[in-house]
């Protein structure tokens, strides 16, 4: 029997949401200042309205301080799921009033895409979008990649931080406490911010010939989208706009850094480094990147899409890393990407579906789960082939020896299966509207795995139901389902519980 939530349950959720809204309101001051400095008064007014709503809701939630501020598992998951619905809805206000979106749904679509670090976009005439609005699009990547909840954990004390941390699809607590782990994650982000913007800015200024202000703007936007594996770009042609191999390489380094787990960042920063390549996750992602790279390269060579070795390696290599890291940057137009059939299509789609490492800014099934599933299947196969009574080892190495329990293997397989169902859901809706199977599956995997590469389906004129489907995929895929199920269960208990 389901127990209906009581008033105290709603107070706990409202109070936690109030804190998070105040964090987002504070972060929203950055595009407001940007608009003021650029004398962009129309966006300035819309940012002011958005900040006012965030602050009002934040203060309203803080008024409902519960007797016990500690969040249990269900409360924390509900808070996370609601956060990732409410922030894009309110955060879309500047987009709605910008004149660059065909409808409010399109604006919310882009805000959800930004926060979930997906990168699919419905913005119109991006090349003439006000810089402050472009900055807000990319800042949503940063907030979503590093985690709004993580920021709240850094700023606010209180119990229940662990459930919020896991609710945002974080699988690894690097340091003893959640708050110290959250601080480390933001420290990593800020160090990469300084280094990434500097390197990209120098390249843009010295190689591309941008003046310093323009170089800073582009380097900052590319950093936000690259390190947070988002995929938005300040220009409609993505990274193809720059026509620079060295700029693409610098962005690629940020993409790889974003797809790495923060646990791996910690090991690289503070050691020990020797055991890194013994980790199951590290070996798995190196293997899957190699396999998908070979599939794509062979497919492109057989199809004759690129006639030169340089074109084949440069375009193929960059697109596969972009797909596997979940970034979504592209150096080729979507119409050209749509011609990548056969093995190239298989390599790209598998790369997107698998994604980066656990506890990173990337989406997808994640390499650790893939490694656990493969090891579990291999162990079961060995058990069948060995004599009766023989014992098969069930340990794996991931920052130390760990046991591969049946529960852990089942959990990895369940999440992977849910992702497959999510991908098929989006593909099925697109097929219903007459899109081809290859295009429908590619776009669905891109949305569900938070990638952002497109073969042309995602555009303002696509059906409303497909827009809503992709938005659901971004939301559920980014939160890895648990928080979504918790919210649905909470609402069902509220309606039908006793």
Per-residue pLDDT, 353? 96
Instruction: Indicate if the pLDDT at residue 41 is higher than 90.
Output: yes
Number of domains observed in the structure of the chain: 1
Under a CB-based contact definition with an 8 Å cutoff, are residues 231 and 119 in contact?
A: yes
Using a 10 angstrom Cβ sphere, with 0-12 exposed, 13-18 middle and 19 or more buried, the burial of residue 1 is: exposed
Residues 6+ apart with CB under 8 A from 128: none
Instruction: Indicate if the pLDDT at residue 234 is higher than 90.
Output: yes
Q: Is residue 314 part of a domain?
A: no
Q: Which residue has the tokens 């489907």?
A: 469
Quote the domain boundaries for residue 131: 1-170+465-498
353-405 pLDDT per residue, tens:
999 998 788 889 999 899 999 988 888 888 777 776 666 667 888 877 888 88
The first and second tokens of residue 335, run together, are 């119409």
Per-residue pLDDT, 2? 66
For the chain, counts of helices (H) and of strands (E): 22, 2
In this structure, what are the phi and psi dihedrals at residue 402, rounded to the nearest 5 degrees?
-135, 160
Per-residue pLDDT, 283? 92
Average the pLDDT over 104-119 and give the result: 96
For 124-133, 163-172, 240-249, 321-330, which range has the lowest pLDDT when averaged over its residues? Answer: 163-172
How far is it, in rounded angstroms, from Cα 420 to Cα 417?
5
CA 147 to chain centre: 10
The first and second tokens of residue 325, run together, are 């890291």
Quick one: DSSP state of residue 397?
A: E
Q: Which long-range contacts (CB under 8 A, 24 or more apart) does 301-308 make?
A: 302/342, 302/343, 303/339, 303/340, 303/341, 303/342, 303/344, 305/336, 305/339, 305/340, 305/344
Q: Which residue has the tokens 């987002």?
A: 24
Instruction: Indicate if the pLDDT at residue 164 is higher than 80.
Output: no
Three-state DSSP class for residue 117: coil
Per-residue pLDDT, 80? 85
Per-residue pLDDT, 480? 87
Q: Is residue 166 part of a domain?
A: yes
Using a 10 angstrom Cβ sphere, with 0-12 exposed, 13-18 middle and 19 or more buried, the burial of residue 317 is: middle
Under a CB-based contact definition with an 8 Å cutoff, are residues 73 and 489 in contact?
A: no
Instruction: Indicate if the pLDDT at residue 172 is higher than 80.
Output: no
Q: Is residue 333 part of a domain?
A: no
Q: What percent helix, strand, coil does the chain show, rounded to 5?
A: 70, 0, 30
Per-residue pLDDT, 157? 47
For 155-169, 183-197, 212-226, 407-421, which range has the lowest pLDDT when averaged over its residues? Answer: 155-169
Instruction: Indicate if the pLDDT at residue 156 is higher than 80.
Output: no
Per-residue pLDDT, 12? 87
How far is it, in rounded angstroms, from Cα 12 to Cα 6?
10
Q: Is residue 81 part of a domain?
A: yes
Render 134-201 in DSSP notation, one character per residue: HHHHHHHHHHHHH-HHHHHHHH---S-HHHHHHHTT-----SSSHHHHHHHHHHHHHHHHHHHHHHHH
Q: Is residue 188 part of a domain?
A: no
Q: Is residue 32 part of a domain?
A: yes
Q: Is residue 216 part of a domain?
A: no
Quick one: DSSP state of residue 327?
A: -
Instruction: Indicate if the pLDDT at residue 281 is higher than 80.
Output: yes
Handedness of CA 323, 329, 332, 337 (dihedral sign): positive
Q: Is residue 17 part of a domain?
A: yes
Beta bridge partners of 16: none
236-248 pLDDT per residue, tens:
999 999 999 999 9
For 28-37, 113-122, 301-310, 418-427, which range has the lowest pLDDT when averaged over its residues? Answer: 301-310
Under a CB-based contact definition with an 8 Å cutoff, are residues 188 and 262 in contact?
A: yes
Per-residue pLDDT, 8? 87
111, 370, 412, 446 from 276: Cα distances, Å: 36, 17, 22, 29
How far is it, in rounded angstroms, from Cα 179 to Cα 222?
28
How far is it, in rounded angstroms, from Cα 482 to Cα 498?
23
In this prediction the pTM is 0.92
- pLDDT band for 159, please (50, 70, 90 cuts): very low
């Amino acid at each position: 029997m389901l127990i209906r939530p009581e008033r105290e349950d709603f107070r706990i959720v409202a109070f936690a949401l109030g804190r998070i809204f105040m964090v987002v309101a504070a972060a929203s001051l950055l595009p407001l200042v940007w608009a003021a400095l650029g004398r962009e008064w129309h966006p300035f007014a819309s940012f002011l309205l958005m900040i006012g709503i965030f602050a009002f809701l934040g203060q309203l939630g803080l008024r409902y301080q519960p007797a016990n501020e500690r969040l249990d598992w269900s409360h924390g998951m509900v808070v996370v799921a609601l956060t990732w619905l409410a922030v894009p809805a309110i955060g879309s206000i500047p987009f709605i009033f910008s004149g660059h979106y065909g409808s409010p749904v399109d604006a919310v679509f882009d805000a959800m895409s930004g926060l979930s670090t997906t990168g699919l976009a419905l913005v119109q005439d991006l090349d003439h979008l006000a810089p402050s609005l472009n900055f807000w699009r990319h800042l949503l990547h940063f907030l979503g990649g590093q985690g709004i909840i993580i920021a709240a954990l850094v700023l606010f004390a209180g119990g229940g931080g662990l459930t919020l941390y896991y609710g945002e699809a974080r699988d690894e607590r690097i340091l003893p406490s959640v708050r110290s782990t959250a601080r480390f994650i933001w420290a990593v982000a800020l160090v990469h911010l300084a280094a990434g913007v500097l390197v990209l800015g120098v390249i843009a200024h010295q190689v591309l010939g941008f003046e310093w202000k323009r170089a800073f703007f582009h380097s900052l936007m590319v950093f936000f989208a690259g390190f947070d594996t988002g995929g938005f770009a300040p220009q409609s042609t993505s990274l193809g706009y720059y026509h620079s191999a060295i700029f693409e390489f610098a962005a690629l380094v940020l993409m790889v850094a974003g797809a790495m787990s923060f646990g791996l960042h910690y090991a690289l920063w503070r050691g020990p480094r020797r055991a890194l390549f013994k980790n199951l996750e590290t070996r798995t992602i190196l293997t899957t990147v190699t396999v998908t790279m070979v599939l794509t390269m062979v497919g492109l060579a057989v199809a004759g899409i690129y006639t030169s070795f340089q074109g084949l390696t440069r375009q193929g290599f960059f697109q596969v890393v972009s797909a596997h890291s979940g970034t979504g940057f592209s150096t080729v137009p979507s119409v050209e990407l749509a011609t990548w059939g056969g093995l190239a299509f298989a390599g790209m789609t598998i790369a997107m579906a698998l994604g980066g490492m656990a506890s990173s800014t990337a989406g997808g099934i994640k390499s650790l789960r893939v490694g656990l599933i493969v090891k579990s299947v291999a162990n079961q196969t060995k058990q069948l082939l060995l004599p009766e009574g023989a014992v098969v080892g069930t340990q794996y190495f991931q920052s130390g020896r760990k046991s591969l329990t049946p529960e852990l293997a089942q959990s990895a397989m369940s999440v992977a299966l849910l992702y497959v169902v999510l991908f098929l859901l989006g593909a099925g809706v697109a097929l219903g509207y007459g899109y081809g199977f290859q295009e429908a599956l590619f776009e669905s995997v891109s949305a569900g795995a938070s990638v952002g590469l497109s073969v042309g389906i995602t555009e303002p004129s696509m059906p409303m139901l497909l827009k809503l489907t992709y938005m659901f995929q971004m939301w559920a895929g980014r939160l890895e389902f648990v928080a979504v199920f918790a919210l649905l269960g909470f609402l069902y208990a509220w309606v039908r519980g006793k």
